Amino acid sequence: MGIYRIQSWTQYKELALKHSPQIIFYSRDPHPLRKPPFGMKLIFYHQFDTYIFQDYANGATLFKTKIPLVDRGSREVPITHEAIENFIHTEIGTRNVSPIHEFWSL
């Protein structure tokens, strides 16, 4: 039983393909030290373990995954559900992971 913070997208992808989670959750979070000040977490569970991957904005894309950011105004998170879903389905596959759900963090 553990929480694993995975640093690289390649390692997270390998773990997702190995464990075949039925659902991957994501959260779009503030990341005040970045420009724009936003980030994203991907989370999946396998048995009693939790795997977390964190990415953050770097200009027009997220730094590690290169998911594009959209201009939605200064107060709205510039990462869309569609962009995250397309990325996951392209990288891991729709047969392996479906659906993708937003996980609200407080």
This prediction has a pTM of 0.84
Listed by start position, the domains of the chain span: 3-102
Average pLDDT, the chain: 84
- pLDDT for 106 beyond 50: no
Measured CA to CA, the distance from residue 24 to residue 94 in angstroms comes to: 11
For residue range 33-85, list pLDDT tens digits in order.
877 888 899 999 999 999 999 999 888 899 999 999 887 666 666 788 888 88
Q: Exposed/middle/buried for 90, CB within 10 Å: 0-12, 13-18, 19+?
A: exposed
Q: What is the pLDDT of residue 41?
A: 93
Q: Which is it for the CA torsion 7, 11, 16, 18, positive or negative? A: negative
Q: What is the pLDDT of residue 24?
A: 87
Q: What is the pLDDT of residue 52?
A: 96
